[in-house]
């Protein structure tokens, strides 16, 4: 049974936004204004959570429609996602989607123009679209392993750690930046990058240390600190285990 929520037919922005709750099977219009809707579109696109579909305009109207699917749980980014329908009149619209997609999208556009939009109908059609377009959640990039990080999460995690190679921080801080629990993040990171976060971080710190050993005259103690090692002895042990020789010997061989 679809549950209706309060929806009013006030003046709608050029980009209409429908918030879909798959768990409660309900839908409601969001009235934030065109600029807020466009900002949300940019954010979803940057996080690889947006499926964008172009369809033909009708009666010269080229408004947009954004469907946002709420995640089942706030921290569960994998169950969320969005579809942006863009209606254009340029006559060069690529149609790479099933025919039913355009039909269902038109039902949504027509429903939004009604005096009192039918929330249960909006939810029903939006969920049908999601069933047809399974990519309407966070999309796995080409070659990405199943169960790994989304593209935006991988970029955010690696950038977070790259920026803090000289600092000490817990894995939970990186997981929080990706909106995941520590256990979920650690499993997904290993599946995506082939090694656990701690190992990836140590390898990057050793890479940075080799750059400094090769290009600077910094002491081993200073390089250790610059690469996030609290003590030179720890740095030497990790470097030797990773590279096969102590950092001092490695520097002399490079020279």
Question: Domain map of the chain by residue range?
Answer: 15-136, 151-254
Cα–Cα distance measured from residue 189 to residue 138, given in angstroms and rounded to the nearest whole number = 16
Q: Tell the CATH topology of 151-254.
A: Arc Repressor Mutant, subunit A (1.10.10)
Three-point CA angle 69, 127, 12, nearest 5°: 65
How far apart, in Å, do the first and last CA atoms of the chain sit? 74
Q: Which residues pair with 69 in a beta bridge?
A: 20, 81
Q: What are the pLDDT tens digits along the chain (255 aa)?
A: 333 343 333 344 477 899 988 878 888 888 766 667 777 887 777 666 778 887 777 665 667 888 888 876 665 555 678 888 887 665 444 445 677 888 888 888 888 888 788 888 888 898 888 777 655 544 444 445 567 888 888 899 999 999 999 999 999 999 988 888 899 899 999 999 999 999 999 999 999 999 999 999 999 999 999 999 999 999 999 999 999 999 999 999 886
Residues 6 or more apart whose Cβ sits within 8 Å of residue 244:
none
Q: Please give the structure tokens belonging to residue 134.
A: 């399974």
Cα–Cα distance measured from residue 110 to residue 222, given in angstroms and rounded to the nearest whole number = 66
Cα–Cα distance measured from residue 68 to residue 246, given in angstroms and rounded to the nearest whole number = 53
Q: Are 51 and 74 in contact (CB under 8 A)?
A: no
Residue from 201, 81, 82, 77 nearest 149 by CA:
77
Cα–Cα distance measured from residue 182 to residue 173, given in angstroms and rounded to the nearest whole number = 9
This prediction's pTM: 0.49
Q: Are 154 and 164 in contact (CB under 8 A)?
A: no
Cα–Cα distance measured from residue 100 to residue 106, given in angstroms and rounded to the nearest whole number = 10
Q: Is 203 helix (H, G, I), strand (E, B) or coil?
A: helix
SS3 content of the chain, % helix, strand, coil (to 5): 50, 15, 40
CB-CB neighbours of 3 under 10 Å: 12
Cα–Cα distance measured from residue 255 to residue 249, given in angstroms and rounded to the nearest whole number = 10
């Amino acid at each position: 049974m679809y549950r209706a929520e309060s929806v009013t037919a006030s003046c709608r922005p050029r980009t209409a936004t429908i918030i879909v709750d798959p768990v409660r099977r309900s839908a409601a219009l969001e009235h934030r204004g065109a600029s807020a809707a466009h900002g949300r579109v940019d954010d979803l696109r940057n996080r690889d959570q947006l499926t964008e579909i172009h369809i033909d305009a009708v009666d010269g109207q080229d408004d947009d429609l954004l469907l946002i699917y709420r995640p089942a749980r706030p921290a569960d980014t994998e169950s969320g996602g969005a579809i942006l329908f863009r209606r254009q009149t340029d006559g060069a619209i690529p149609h790479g989607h099933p025919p039913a997609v355009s039909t269902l999208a038109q039902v949504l556009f027509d429903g939004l123009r009604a005096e009192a939009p039918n929330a249960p109908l909006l939810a029903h059609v939006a969920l049908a679209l999601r069933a047809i377009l399974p990519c309407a959640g966070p999309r796995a990039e080409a070659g990405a392993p199943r169960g790994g990080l989304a593209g935006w999460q991988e970029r955010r995690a690696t950038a977070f750690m790259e920026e803090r190679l000289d600092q000490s921080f817990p894995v939970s801080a990186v997981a929080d930046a990706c909106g995941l629990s520590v256990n979920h993040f650690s499993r997904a990171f290993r599946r995506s990058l082939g090694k656990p976060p701690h190992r990836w971080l140590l390898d990057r710190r050793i890479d940075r240390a080799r750059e400094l050993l090769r290009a600077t005259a910094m002491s081993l103690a200073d390089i250790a600190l610059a690469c996030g090692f609290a003590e030179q002895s720890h740095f030497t042990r990790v470097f030797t285990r990773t590279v096969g020789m102590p950092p001092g010997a490695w520097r002399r061989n490079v020279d």
